[in-house]
Amino acid sequence: MSVFDRAKAKAEELLGRAEQVYGESHGDAAATMDGEARRLEAEADEERAEARARHDGDDGLAGAR
pLDDT of residue 31: 93
Interacting residues of 23 by C-beta distance below 8 A, sequence separation 6+? 29, 30, 31, 32, 33, 34, 35
pLDDT of residue 27: 93
Q: b/e map of 51-62 (b: 16 or more CB within 10 Å)?
A: eeeeeeeeeeee
Spell out the per-residue pLDDT of the chain, length 65, in tens.
678 888 888 899 999 999 999 999 999 999 999 999 999 999 998 888 888 777 665 555 666 66
- CA–CA separation, 58 vs 53, rounded Å? 10
pLDDT of residue 5: 82
pLDDT of residue 60: 59
